[in-house]
Amino acid sequence: MTRTSHATPTRATRHGPPATTRPPWRSTGEWWLAAVAAAFTLLQLALVRPGMGLGWDETVYVSQVSTHAPAAFFSAPRARGITLLVAPVASWSSSTGLLRVYLAVLSGLGLYWALRAWRGLFPVRVIAAGGALFASLWITLFYGPQAMPNYWVAVGGSATVGFFLHARSDPTRRGALWGVAAGTALMAWMRPTDAVWVSLPLLALVLFVRPRRQLRLLSALVTGLAAGATEWIVEAYVDYGGVGARLAAGSRIQGGLGLHNAVVDQLRSLGGRALCRPCTGAIASPTVIAWWFALPLLAAAALVIAVRARRTPPTLVPLACAATAAVPYLFLIGYAAPRFLLPAYALLAIPVADAVARLVTAPSGHRRTLAVTVVALGLAGHLAVQFDVLERAVSRTTADHRVWGRTAADLRRLGVRPPCLVTGGDSVPVAFAAGCASAHTGGHDANTTPAELARTGRRMPVVLLTTRLGHPPSYARTWQPHRLTGGYAYLSPGMAGKGGQG
């Protein structure tokens, strides 16, 4: 078969049309990509409430640059890329709504950049359809405007693979090489370990397939990874004793990396659970999880179509990167969160869109009508399910975050004012909302001791949050209990009796 629909543009096309014709961005279908990115931004602003409040992990990232409250404990698995990304807003404003709008716009621009990296590898309308499939997932819409790193790893991974394929076919294309470096740097800036997993097939191709002709491409990959991970590596040596020690600490926090089967856990999380740890309960209904099983089937169909059309690399490479990106979150950790697989979904999106396009264009006559009808109904049902899950996830998350805000307001009525410290359950988001520091004596974020909390409680307000009265820790046995909106609080001796009833 010939390479008609996916061929590289001719020399005349590359140089653009005459000045009297339509602008290049219109004649090449560029507006399709811009429309998808713009719609993605608008849907975030419409469906993910700007006033949803910050989540636990978001609070950790934002607090590092915020003047509203002291920085929360920053654990080993985290990287500071998302903190630096939100710094232009979070460093001077405590408005969550403003931060959401900023991130929604930025995520739309990021999607547009990633889609442009694929021009010339697939028809523009296929690329736009792939972008729309990825952007319409409830997980993508939910996390696009959040201060979380996974969406940005997905954008960086998709852009990296697109630019990589261009650079591999023409190693002299400096723009593609710079794109590879920028994409890998973005991934490593956000989550260095995820960047390595996504890049493994690319590194293997460069090292084992005609390596002498790919030195520039290898340099772009390695330079991007190194540039993005530099801060994380330096911090590893300063605070953890080296990269190996930091990875080991991160493994402990994540429950010990090893062989686990988290596939069922991921299925449980598809119903709108932000974190499934411990992952118990029923799996979401078949209508909610059906798309997850359709993905690998469509990916396999895309690969078969590409092999038959003799244009295998543009399909095989992103599928391989999607597989390696998914491996650690399906088989190496013992819990699940739907955002973990965003990079895999982004890399699958365009090949899957290509397969769907083939399914509706290959048949003729009545068969084509039937295929178009089936695909249209399937997509309509898929979108309805995604938006329904999104609405429930946003409502539930907003309600949870409002409880934290009311708890912080209760503490202020009790007389808790900065400088202050909060410990116990939900202490990180509550402390941030109240303008206090947070600390833990155990768990994943342990950064203090009971003795230190007792000493701190004698010189500043310290609050122990709990869901029930009874037997507080030894350091808080003489502290005064108070009823709050979301439970109870034990206040250190200097605060007892101020502004509320025990």
pLDDT one-digit tens code per residue, 301-318: 999 999 999 999 999 999
Q: Which residue has the higher pLDDT, 170 or 424?
A: 424
User: Which of 211, 233, 254 marks a domain boundary?
Assistant: 254
Whole-angstrom Cα distance, residue 238 to residue 388? 46
Q: What is the mean pLDDT of residues 73-85?
A: 96
Q: Which residue has the higher pLDDT, 352 or 445?
A: 352
Q: In what order do the strands lie in the sheet with 437-438?
A: 437-438, 421-424, 462-466, 487-491, 480-484
Position 468 confidence tier, pLDDT thresholds 50, 70, 90: confident
In a domain, 49, yes or no: yes
Position 222 confidence tier, pLDDT thresholds 50, 70, 90: very high
The pLDDT tens digits of the residues spanning 389-434 come to 999 999 999 999 999 999 999 999 999 999 999 999 899 999 999 9
Position 3 confidence tier, pLDDT thresholds 50, 70, 90: very low
Whole-angstrom Cα distance, residue 225 to residue 188? 6
> Percent of the chain beyond pLDDT 70?
93
- Does position 250 have pLDDT exceeding 60, yes or no? yes
User: Which of 223, 239, 254 marks a domain boundary?
Assistant: 254
For residue 365, the one-letter residue type is G
Position 54 confidence tier, pLDDT thresholds 50, 70, 90: very high
In a domain, 491, yes or no: yes
pLDDT of residue 10: 41
pLDDT of residue 312: 95
Q: What is the mean pLDDT of residues 241-262?
A: 90
In a domain, 121, yes or no: yes
Report how many domains make up the chain: 2
For residue 296, the one-letter residue type is P
Cα–Cα distances (Å) from 292 to 117, 285, 392, 423, in that order, read 26, 12, 19, 39
Q: Which domain holds residue 468?
A: 400-495
Position 2 confidence tier, pLDDT thresholds 50, 70, 90: very low
- Does position 8 have pLDDT exceeding 60, yes or no? no
Which of helix, strand or coil describes residue 278? coil
- CA atoms within a 13 Å half-sphere pointing along the CA-CB vector of 499: 13
In a domain, 359, yes or no: no
- Does position 203 have pLDDT exceeding 60, yes or no? yes
Pick the closest to residue 202 from 188, 186, 184 (CA basis): 184
Q: Which residue has the higher pLDDT, 303 or 50?
A: 303
pLDDT of residue 362: 84
**Cα-flanking dihedrals φ and ψ of residue 438, to 5°?**
-130, 155
Matching residue, tokens 């900023």: 102
Pairing of strands 487-491, 480-484: antiparallel
In a domain, 144, yes or no: yes
Of 18-32, 74-88, 480-494, the poorest mean pLDDT is in: 18-32
The count of other CB atoms within 10 Å of the CB of residue 251 is 16
pLDDT of residue 126: 96
Q: What is the mean pLDDT of residues 372-385?
A: 95
User: Which of 224, 254, 284 marks a domain boundary?
Assistant: 254
The pTM of this model reads: 0.92
- Does position 501 have pLDDT exceeding 70, yes or no? no
Q: What is the mean pLDDT of residues 7-19?
A: 41
Sign of CA dihedral 277, 283, 284, 288: positive
Position 170 confidence tier, pLDDT thresholds 50, 70, 90: confident
pLDDT of residue 22: 46
Of 2-11, 283-292, 435-444, the poorest mean pLDDT is in: 2-11
The pLDDT tens digits of the residues spanning 271-295 come to 999 988 888 888 989 999 999 999 9
pLDDT of residue 461: 94
Whole-angstrom Cα distance, residue 347 to residue 330? 16
pLDDT of residue 391: 96
In a domain, 204, yes or no: yes
In a domain, 198, yes or no: yes
In a domain, 390, yes or no: no
